[in-house]
Structure 1
Amino acid sequence: MAIYALSDLHLSFNKPVTLYDVNPDQDIEKPMDVFGWTRHYERIRDGWLRLVGPEDTVLIPGDISWAMKLDVARYDFDWINQLPGYKVMSPGNHCYYAHSKKKVREMLPEGMRWVDADYTLVEGRVVAATRGWTLPGERFFNEEEDRKIYERQVGRLRLALEAAAKEQPGREKIVMLHFPPLTVSAKESGFMEVMKEFGVTLCVYGHMHGKAREEAIQGRVDGIDLRLVACDAIDFCPVKLFD
């Protein structure tokens, strides 16, 4: 009953498809070929099937579907649902369909869980999540436009961990963010401070692709193991977190 992670699937199926029956010219709304991700869904599928069993869990911290509307995102979630394991998902900056946590949860197939500013339990561990945001000190952080969103997201992570600490005392805590909690340009953040306060041991995140991965900070920082799990950073294959 292992726990894996893989983010930034960036799927865009425009009708129901099966794992082995996809026509890229007709079934995919937004191919990722321009980014060098040619038929990347096949690489996700093959790596997932090779590693993940039906009793395992995969954490997916954001940018799951390009869909603008929930009824279209359903096709991507249904494709993921055909893969083995229990899936725990949280929003990214491209999850435009996820305006209502309640509606996303109502739409998801059985065996899939949406977590946003709250938490769930996986193999006896707390998994808390929120989207995160661009960090103060980063190149594209705009004080006027980004500060309020950043602070709101820090607050949402605090709400999730406060609830977990009250309702599940003593359990190990994992955090799923889409945006990184630290970068080379932003070596401190409210996300890190909140995670340290509540004794989080592991944070998985995505969002950083291509050259941007040079800004990623990974490894143990202040007692927290930071791991970038964006698809292209881990060869489109789920990475094992726990046995």
Structure 2
Amino acid sequence: MKIFAIGDLHLSGTPPQKPMDVFGEHWHNHWEKIRTHWQQSVADDDIVFIVGDTSWAMRLDAALEDLQSIMTLPGQKYIIRGNHDYWWTGVSKMTKVTDGGLTFLQGHGLAVPASLTPQSAVLLAFGGTRGYLCPNDGGFTPDTDNSIYARELLRTEAALKEMDTAITKLSATTDAPPLRILLLHYPPFNDKNEASGFTELMERYHVDHCIFGHLHDSLSFSRIPESAGHTRLHLVSADYMNFSLKQIL
């Protein structure tokens, strides 16, 4: 089993109703680039994490074409919400209309036995939520953003707690070590890379990898560190990844 991730697909149907090349020529035909790499790299038993901003649609029925396009691709696909995913609704409703072809995570986590190599068995735990701007970010307004930030911290901790509960249950049947992956849409710190409630949770719950997107500018691309504490950081915005998936493990 291999683990891949990507974010910020920004799909809008076929042909696209909102072509992304208005943000630069490098976005031209971006979904075809991503699909080609996906089909060449991912097997059916691999995992693909999609960390938000999947579709520009405003309603679930309008997003269905984009979601179905993703579902045709190989791999077990897990998806969280981004700040532009206005189509996102109740998890049970989304699961029903996609016939279980995608697993939607928002404030939840799980764990599964996994063999990353024939010699490397782990208890793979993952989960997450959208996240949010962090205090002292240039775009953070305390009067309006503090409550949203606090809510997303609660959702993040809820996911991490569920991951630990699932690990405990599975540990009764195996001595494989746990490996924890936190999925966020926003980065877990502000635009100065300062510590935050998210990085504190990552340290407290021993998160091994944090995967996120949201960022699309060259300054942000250059400032993201490789790690925060003992957590490996993975920025996987589609344009940062040159419209390919990143293999995490």
Task: Measure how far apart 1:101 and its partner are.
Answer: 2.2
Matched letter for residue 132 of structure 2? W
- The answer as to whether partners of 1:6 and 1:229 remain within 8 angstroms in 2 is yes
Give the distance between the partners of 1:12 and 1:133, measured in 2 at CA: 24
Counterparts in 2 of 1:195 and 1:126: CA distance versus 1, 3 Å: same
| Superposition RMSD in Å | 1.6
1:55 aligns to 2:45 (yes or no): yes
Aligned residue number for residue 19 of structure 2: 31
Give the distance between the partners of 2:201 and 2:105, measured in 1 at CA: 18
Matched letter for residue 103 of structure 2? R
1:118 aligns to 2:108 (yes or no): yes
Give the distance between the partners of 2:142 and 2:221, measured in 1 at CA: 23
1:71 aligns to 2:49 (yes or no): no
Give the distance between the partners of 2:107 and 2:191, measured in 1 at CA: 26
Aligned residue number for residue 5 of structure 2: 5
Aligned residue number for residue 18 of structure 1: none
Counterparts in 2 of 1:109 and 1:238: CA distance versus 1, 3 Å: farther
Aligned residue number for residue 139 of structure 2: 140
What TM-score, normalized to structure 2?
0.87
How many residue pairs are counted as aligned between the two chains?
230
The within-5 A match list for 1:1-243 is 1-13=1-13, 22=14, 27-36=15-24, 37-121=27-111, 123=114, 124-169=123-168, 171-214=178-221, 216-242=223-249
Matched letter for residue 142 of structure 2? E
Which sections of structure 1, spanning at least 5 residues, go unmatched?
14-21
Task: Measure how far apart 1:216 and its partner are.
Answer: 4.2
Counterparts in 2 of 1:215 and 1:187: CA distance versus 1, 3 Å: farther
Which sections of structure 2, spanning at least 5 residues, go unmatched?
115-122, 172-177
Percent identity at matched positions?
A: 35
Counterparts in 2 of 1:238 and 1:214: CA distance versus 1, 3 Å: closer
What TM-score, normalized to structure 1?
0.90
Aligned residue number for residue 174 of structure 2: none
Please list every run of at least 4 consecutive aligned residues from structure 1 whose deviation after the TM superposition is greater than 6 angstroms: none
Give the distance between the partners of 2:163 and 2:194, measured in 1 at CA: 26
Matched letter for residue 163 of structure 2? A
Write out per-residue CA displacement over residues 175-222 of structure 1, whole angstroms, 9 at most, x where no aligned residue. 000000024414111011111111111000000002352464231221
Aligned residue number for residue 19 of structure 1: none
Give the distance between the partners of 2:134 and 2:190, measured in 1 at CA: 8
Give the distance between the partners of 2:232 and 2:149, measured in 1 at CA: 22
Counterparts in 2 of 1:216 and 1:154: CA distance versus 1, 3 Å: farther
Aligned residue number for residue 175 of structure 2: none
Q: State the secondary structure of the residue aligned to 1:41.
A: helix
